[in-house]
Amino acid sequence: MRDRQGLGLRVEAGRLWLIDQTALPQAERWQAIDTLEAMVEAIRALRVRGAPMIAIAAALLVAVRVEAGDERPSLLEAIDRLVASRPTAVNLAHAMNTLRGALAAPDWREAVVAAADDLADRDVALCEAIGDHGAALIGSGERILTHCNTGALATAGIGTAAGVLRRAHEQGKNISVWVDETRPLLQGGRLTAWELGALGVPYTLITDNMAAAFMARGQVDRVIVGADRIAANGDVANKIGTYGLAVAAHYHGIPLAVAAPYTTIDLACASGTAIEIEQRAAEEVRGVAGAAGNLCWAPSDAPVANPAFDVTPAALITHWILDAGVFDRDAIAAGALKAAIRSAEAKP
């Protein structure tokens, strides 16, 4: 397994390290992940998160286990348990399918390690392509609203929606970003604010319930979000709150783009209604946890609903920013998603 260094993941001398995203931005704690149990725990607890990043981290953990001498049956079982650890983002299932294929090769040990390395390298390149295509869409001085965290912490590269923001900023487009805090787990307030600050991208942090009011005042020119799964008809599952943003953006005539690599597309889901939505623990809504400890503000037995994602119908999306290019609703209806997968898979 090759050495690599990302913002939230690194491989050094065959050892996989993840930054604990639940402790950010107050503490930068790196954790060596050597076992299946440690990786499943990290994924479930959102120590590692973001659709592409979960897939890459899980793939590299399987490579770690191959190099540790695990045999095929236990690796196949590990892959099944990793797939089940978070159900909504399809990138994880995509990566694990690739590794299942490599496990069937005669030289399967080399094949699995090479496939995991390749998935990570590809993700870096996919982010670059998304950033370049998306930045071309953005006009000078735009005030862009984003939700959750889609940056270098959420991928092996520069990110998806946040990668577009980064590229536009680097191209001198003078953009500014409204960062949605993203209740309940605050990926916007904790992670996106931290990343954009480090990059020098001008941003303003807002709570989720402020977004519509800023749109009404004419202070939002565009919304760009990421995706956990894109159905065949263009519907998109993404962090809870995305649908509300899309409804508000549509009402105010503001374009809303979804940025994602081809590994987020799931043609087996005809529409968003087929996408499984992860339900998470009540404690996440009753209070907040972080490096400073846990705080519960609701009655400790308050009944809670906590869907981690929602589905935005294609009718509310104006652009799909993929590694293959930027597509509008007509292009998606005409089969752009299928063509994007075909062209990505044709690349060596």
Where in the sequence numbering do the catalytic residues fall? Answer: 228
Supply the minimum distance, in Å, between the C-beta of residue 278 and ligand MRU. 8
Radius of gyration of the chain (CA): 19
Q: Which residues contact 110 (CB under 8 A, 6 or more apart)?
A: none
Residue 65 touching ligand MRU (CB under 6 A): no
> Which C-beta is closer to ligand MRU: that of 50 or that of 131?
50
Six-digit token string for 220: 């939002």
> Which C-beta is closer to ligand MRU: that of 98 or that of 238?
238
Q: E strand or H helix at 230, and its extent?
A: strand 229-231
Provide the mask over 150-189, with x wherever binding to ligand MRU is found by CB under 6 A and - wherever it is not: x---xx---xx--------------------------x--
**What residue type is 189 in one-letter code?**
G
Buried b (16+ CB within 10 A) or exposed e, 120-150: bebbbebbebbbbbbbebbeeebbbbbbbbb
Q: Which stretch binds ligand MRU (CB under 6 A): 47-55, 114-122, 135-143, 335-343?
A: 47-55
**Nearest residue to 223 (alpha-carbon basis) of 161, 279, 284:** 161
**Whether the Cβ atoms of residue 163 and residue 144 lie closer than 8 Å to each other:** no
> Which C-beta is closer to ligand MRU: that of 102 or that of 316?
316
Residue 50 touching ligand MRU (CB under 6 A): yes
**Whether the Cβ atoms of residue 232 and residue 270 lie closer than 8 Å to each other:** yes
Euclidean distance between CA atoms 263 and 95, whole angstroms: 8
Cβ-proximal residue to ligand MRU, closest one? 226
Q: Please measure the distance between the N-terminal and C-terminal CA atoms of the chain and give it in whole angstroms.
A: 19
Residue 52 touching ligand MRU (CB under 6 A): yes
> Which C-beta is closer to ligand MRU: that of 36 or that of 56?
56
> Which C-beta is closer to ligand MRU: that of 52 or that of 87?
52
Number of residues that bind ligand MRU (CB under 6 A): 19
Residue 146 touching ligand MRU (CB under 6 A): no
Among 65, 169, 239, 286, binds ligand MRU (CB under 6 A): 239
Q: Which stretch binds ligand MRU (CB under 6 A): 103-111, 206-214, 225-233, 290-298?
A: 225-233
Cross-strand bridge partners of residue 321: 259, 326
Which positions touch ligand MRU (CB under 6 A)? 46, 49-52, 89, 148, 150, 154-155, 159-160, 187, 226-228, 238-239, 308
